[in-house]
Amino acid sequence: MDFSPCHSVLAGKTVLLGVTGSIAAYKAADIASSLQKLGVTTHAVLTAAAQEFITPLTLQTLTRNRVITQQFDIGVEMNVEHVALAKAADLLLIAPATANVIAKLAHGLCDDFLSTTALATRAQLVVCPAMNTNMLEHPATQQNLSILRGRGAVVVASQTGMLACGDVGDGKLAPVQLIVDRVAALLLGGTSLAGKTVVVSAGPTLEDFDPFRFLSNNSSGKMGRDIARACEMLGARVHLVAAESYPGFGGVWTKTRSAADMHAALMADFPVADFVFMAAAVSDFSPVRSDRKLKKTEEAAEMRRTRDILAEMGAAKTHQVLCGFAAETENLRAYGEDKLRRKNLDFIAVNQIGGAVGFQSSSNEIMLLDRLGGEHHSGVMDKLDIARWLVQIVTAAK
């Protein structure tokens, strides 16, 4: 298996993005931009109604491809373009999808470029409904969605929230990140971790001195959250233990604050885990908390060591593959090898802190060591690309 890092893990994949006449059409710009960042070649098709909410120029700028806006265009090349795009697409994403377009898709109507292409393609269809609650819940719409699911389409369910009409209810377009992650999972195959449970810790812990102040660190939690995303993309059941989740996360999230909170949550999840990624920056020390605000005139706060969660997992593991993390300022290999051995880990991801990557950065660079003496280097990459690279190596060990 090739473990070489790749900045564009989805390079060579083609998505046809169909945008229909919903107020949520403006979010298609974020979807297109996110797909481009993943290396996906994206072609946008706007229905006539969609053009009332978002301009073709916006999507053409973001996708770097001509946007199709009408069935018959004198500028179309000699090949029949809806057939050419239908053949080229690896996936047809319709986001947002109105009740009208969902009905067309369900019943095979093809009176515009998008519906014609949908009938001509054999690519995976992904539909993201967005509409008024009553329209969504109408039996006709529900039956049409069932028809599409029965044909193998993936429906990314809408969410409850404030709608354009002012009502609060179901019908809000799913979060952009959830849509993009679902698309990426389908393009990547999305099943290599199906049936597996992955536990991920992320971010800092906050250790309270008193009701107003706490001890913490500079960890953003992005690396851990991106590992959780990467595992979700591959079909895993993900348990995320962190102070914050991320938009569209579909797994189990346990919100924690202190090292003690994190210890309790992780040790409860550990027995069912197949893979564990301990990316959290857990405080080594915790102050003895005062119930009142400490004054400047008082003596220094008393500190105590926190429990070593990673060492406890290493001592207790049976079938689990355990990957720890180490952020160091020097002697990365030596400190990493020592931690790998002392804590009985399968892998340790070591990164240097203090530079342009790592904490509070969107990019990272990792040296991954394994218990068999293997050594892997990521190079500098976006943290989500690092996460995919890391998950690929660690999960291949089982």
Among the options 110, 165, 231, 323, which is catalytic? Answer: 165
Kind of pairing, strands 14-19 and 91-97?
parallel
Could you tell me the strand order of the sheet in which 14-19 lies?
41-46, 14-19, 91-97, 124-129, 154-155
Residue 207's H or E segment, with its range, is strand 207-208
H-type helices in the chain, by residue range?
28-37, 56-63, 81-88, 99-107, 113-120, 133-137, 139-150, 176-188, 222-233, 259-269, 309-316, 332-342, 383-395
Q: What share of the chain is helix, strand, coil (3-state, %, to 5)?
A: 35, 25, 40
Interior CA angle at 186 toward 360 and 237, to 5°?
65
Tally Cβ neighbours within 10 Å of residue 121: 20
Q: Is position 323 annotated as part of the catalytic site?
A: no
Catalytic residues: 165
